[in-house]
Amino acid sequence: MTNYPHLAQKLFNVPLAITPKKAEIVMAALADRFGLARLFHANGRVVALDDWDGDIGEPAPTKAYEVVAGVAVIPVTGTLVQKLGTLKPYSGMTGYDGLRACLSMALADKDVRAVVLDIDSPGGEVAGCFDLADSIYRARGSKPIWSILTESAYSAAYAIASACDRIVVPRTGGTGSVGVICMHVDMSKALGAAGVNVTLIHYGDRKADGADSQPLSDEALSRYQSDVDAMGELFVKTVARNRGMSVKAVRNTQATTFLGAAGVEIGFADAVMAPDEAFRSLLAELG
């Protein structure tokens, strides 16, 4: 049985490195799971769920990675989360814990000559993302580590891609969205209209900051903005280090996304190729 309150804790009032469109889709889907869709509808805030990744299902078979011609191919797809508990993606999510384990095994695997991160993701949790990116960055030089996008690497997914030796994007794929977002849902008016009044009894002036049963105060907003700014600067500096760019150049992108060749021009990717062509290019370099 899926623990939806646990998912809500991971998504609301915490910094996320995810594209805004995906964040809205996830928020709407969780609202439906919590039985809040009627409240959203009552306030004219229904959001279509057509793009939701799907129901949470059973984990996929836990084979660490595929090895093709001596190259370990590690999939990085869907929404990225800190702890998924499986080595491979399932139900539209990939865990940083699984990626870290797969990378460690591939680097130690004598049959593996190179590693490819097969990425198509809008991003996800900030928690755990930059520690994983640092691990990938430190592993450079042990074996070639390429990021081959099978469409796009945005936000947290781009943080991971940027840590690789080389990033190859297809012409219809995208890179970037180097930024952080935090969602606060104010349900106070909707709850009141439904005849539900919530009283928060707390010790500590800031203990109830971010509660969805009351409007967000100016003080709480300022504190959350400070946290988001700190995470955003960490993101910018990480990408700048990984890609050999100036911090100013990365910051000036202002979390813009770049399609295909535009990502190469800005410095966020190295080449534009179809994924199969990129894989053949890696094999040619390996000899």
Question: What are the residue numbers of the active site?
Answer: 155, 207
Coil, helix or strand at residue 262: helix
Residue recorded with tokens 């090895």? 67
Rg, the chain, Cα only? 20
Do the beta carbons of residue 117 and residue 147 sit within 8 Å? yes
Which class for 178: exposed (0-12), middle (13-18), buried (19 or more C-beta within 10 A)? buried
**Closest among 273, 236, 238, 276 to 256, alpha carbons compared:** 236
Q: Which residues pair with 258 in a beta bridge?
A: 175
Q: Give every CB contact of residue 201 below 8 A, 6+ residues apart in sequence.
A: none
Q: Which residue shows structure tokens 């996800």?
A: 124
Query: Is 73 strand, coil or helix?
Result: strand
Contact 268, 258 (CB under 8 A): yes
